[in-house]
Structure 1
Amino acid sequence: MKISKKGLIYFALSGLLCGAGVILLFGHMSTRPTPSNVGRMAANEQEIALTAEDGVRISASYFPAQQTDAPVILLLHGNGASRRQFTSHVAWLNRSGFSAMAIDFRGHGESQLQPKSFGYFESRDAEAAVRWIKQQQPQAKIGVIGVSLGGAASLTGPNGPLPVDAMVLKAVYPDIDRAIRNRIAVHGGSILSALLTPLLTNQAYFRFGVAPDKVSPIKNADRFDKPVLVIGGEKDSYTPVAESEALSNAFTGQSWLWIVGKLEHDQLSDLEDIVYQERIVRFFNESLKQAGTRK
């Protein structure tokens, strides 16, 4: 059966429209909200309602240490998780003399439903938490533990890195391009990754209102000159070791790189064995407690 020239044109246009629809669906799925019930995390929990700079409602919890001016560790979860990811962290941080605060990013946990943005708008949620800490505990030093998305939100955003005194960054991607490229490659292969990544990353223009290179933790790293501990996983195919090394090297202040053997991305995100606890406590003791209170 012979197909007319007009039929071929219609067929090609239909294919293009279907392809565009699939790409848009991919973009929607990667940015859709993932709400969940959090529940109570600890006996000393104080539930907090925050409002981000753009008016988005953010759910949070504060866990005070016994010492009123103790350093505060802001806990920022990964994609698809909630502040409940840090339930165990709260216990051992409090035992070690730190207060803790954990938030649900927009579109996560019990916060307002909003599309995700690979850290760009989530940075506003983290900024709201930092403002609250400074209002309540103006003399306290502030540290951050950011996991993947949480680490990206610590560095990426319209206002740059969070105004805190030290950061621990676990499994943090250097930019949106490599975050998407690596994830597609793991599940669909390198050819599909090369084809789809530009089509997905460039959706940042109409989804977030910025160019893709604005969603880049590594580009903002040199604007943060306080102590940083970057933690990567030896088997992390979402954020390979080379990318963790590059992120660590991008900081202008003191930075340390810890590559944990045999761990993949999700395993690294959930890491909190005794070695990890001791290393985090030692890092914050040296970076926050020994430095004294905020001037």
Structure 2
Amino acid sequence: MKKKIIYTLLIVLIILGIGSVLISKYVLPYAIIQPPKVSLDITPSDLKLNYSELDILTKDSIKLKGYWIKTDSIPPKSIVIFVHGIGGCKEHFLDLSKNLTEIGIESIIMDSRAHGKSEGQFCTYGYKEKEDISSIVNYIKNKNDSIPIGIWGNSMGGAIAIQALEHDSRIEFGIVESTFTTLNDIVYDYQKAKTYGIGLSFLCNIALNEAGELGQFKPDQVSPISSVKHIEQPMLIAHGDHDENIKFEYGKLLFENLKSTNKKFIAVKNGGHFDLSQKGGNSYKQAIKNFLVMNSKQLQKSSKSP
């Protein structure tokens, strides 16, 4: 009887193991790199913003959809490229863009590849997106070669922003909120959270390797913690100390390893993953505004210097 029970348990464990490997190879990779496409039924005109629609072609011929939000200030102090998180869309930044117009800053809000109304089947967490950001920078430079360019990303968008800052020195300052250190780390963290604290790193490796094959990218090279070691542009990094999705410690590590000497870290007390502005309140908003205005002015002055 005891042997029969042991044999049955062994069979069940084998079936579960095989099932887990199959799920890791054929299901989880799509969950990692193929987010649902979301768009909100709102346009800049609904907020009475001055804007133009954008179609920007990436290096690998994917069309990105977005808006250039304009200010009445002539010339504008700077322009900020906004980068949303996984499953997000450009419309999430409309209110922020409106706030920036009031201080003389323009913005580009885009649906990242495989998101919103942009083309592309898979996202790669910055591996290809950093090149997409460079295509956006090219477009800006063709329209206005003297305007200072910044980038602002949260969650996955923050990881993209960090890699773009390393990749393209024409991006002159950055704001990063609530992002991760490496793609390997965050995939493992999410897996562990979904399996009641049980870490299965070998299954994560299978899923990531397959995701890399599908998306034609190298997951091991998606490493914001490596990128920050080469970034010299001014940066502000913010992270909530109660972030439920991405560890607060990741934000601190990114800041500590950041090469730039012009840097600021904001620990938002009781801040979660999506509510830094709400939990940070007026002091957080003012810190962001000060960083933007100060760096925009300094860059404007340097661009006018003989």
Normalised to the residue count of structure 2, the TM-score between the two structures is 0.84
Whole-Å separation in 1 of the counterparts to 2:66 and 2:162:
20
Residues 161 and 223 in structure 1, CA contact (< 8 A), matched pair in contact too: no
Greater fraction helix:
2
Aligned partner of 1:90 in structure 2 is 97
Equivalences for residues 214-293 of structure 1 within 5 A = 214-253=221-260, 254-268=262-276, 273-292=281-300
Aligned partner of 1:26 in structure 2 is 28
Whole-Å separation in 1 of the counterparts to 2:201 and 2:220:
17
Whole-Å separation in 1 of the counterparts to 2:130 and 2:142:
18
Range with greater deviation from structure 2 (75-84 or 109-118): 109-118
Residues 84 and 90 in structure 2, CA contact (< 8 A), matched pair in contact too: yes
Identity of aligned residues (%): 20
Match of 1:129 among 133, 136, 139: 136
Task: Compute the displacement of 1:90 (Å).
Answer: 0.9
Aligned partner of 1:60 in structure 2 is 66
Residues 74 and 142 in structure 1, CA contact (< 8 A), matched pair in contact too: yes
Whole-Å separation in 2 of the counterparts to 1:269 and 1:186:
25
Whole-Å separation in 1 of the counterparts to 2:183 and 2:233:
24
| Distance change (3 Å), C-alpha of 1:26 and 1:282 | same
Unmatched segments (≥5 aa) in structure 2:
5-10
Unmatched segments (≥5 aa) in structure 1:
4-9
Range with greater deviation from structure 2 (56-65 or 203-212): 203-212
Residues 33 and 113 in structure 1, CA contact (< 8 A), matched pair in contact too: no
Match of 1:147 among 143, 154, 157: 154
| Residues paired across the two proteins, number | 291
Task: Compute the displacement of 1:125 (Å).
Answer: 2.4
Residues 74 and 101 in structure 1, CA contact (< 8 A), matched pair in contact too: yes
Whole-Å separation in 1 of the counterparts to 2:217 and 2:204:
17
Match of 1:196 among 196, 203, 228: 203
Task: Report the residue type matching 1:172 in the other structure.
Answer: T
Task: Compute the displacement of 1:208 (Å).
Answer: 3.8
Normalised to the residue count of structure 1, the TM-score between the two structures is 0.87
Aligned partner of 1:6 in structure 2 is none
Q: Are 2:51 and 1:51 equivalent residues in the alignment?
A: no
Q: Are 2:171 and 1:173 equivalent residues in the alignment?
A: no
Whole-Å separation in 2 of the counterparts to 1:99 and 1:149:
22
Whole-Å separation in 1 of the counterparts to 2:288 and 2:97:
13
Aligned partner of 2:8 in structure 1 is none
Residues 93 and 99 in structure 1, CA contact (< 8 A), matched pair in contact too: yes
Range with greater deviation from structure 2 (188-197 or 160-169): 188-197
**Cα RMSD (Å) of the superposition?**
2.9
Per-residue CA distance 1:5-63 (angstroms, 9 max, x = gap): xxxxx999866553332113012122114223344124312111001111011001001
Whole-Å separation in 1 of the counterparts to 2:126 and 2:240:
20
| Distance change (3 Å), C-alpha of 1:203 and 1:219 | farther
Residues 113 and 122 in structure 2, CA contact (< 8 A), matched pair in contact too: yes
Per-residue CA distance 1:45-95 (angstroms, 9 max, x = gap): 211100111101100100111234320011111111101111110111000
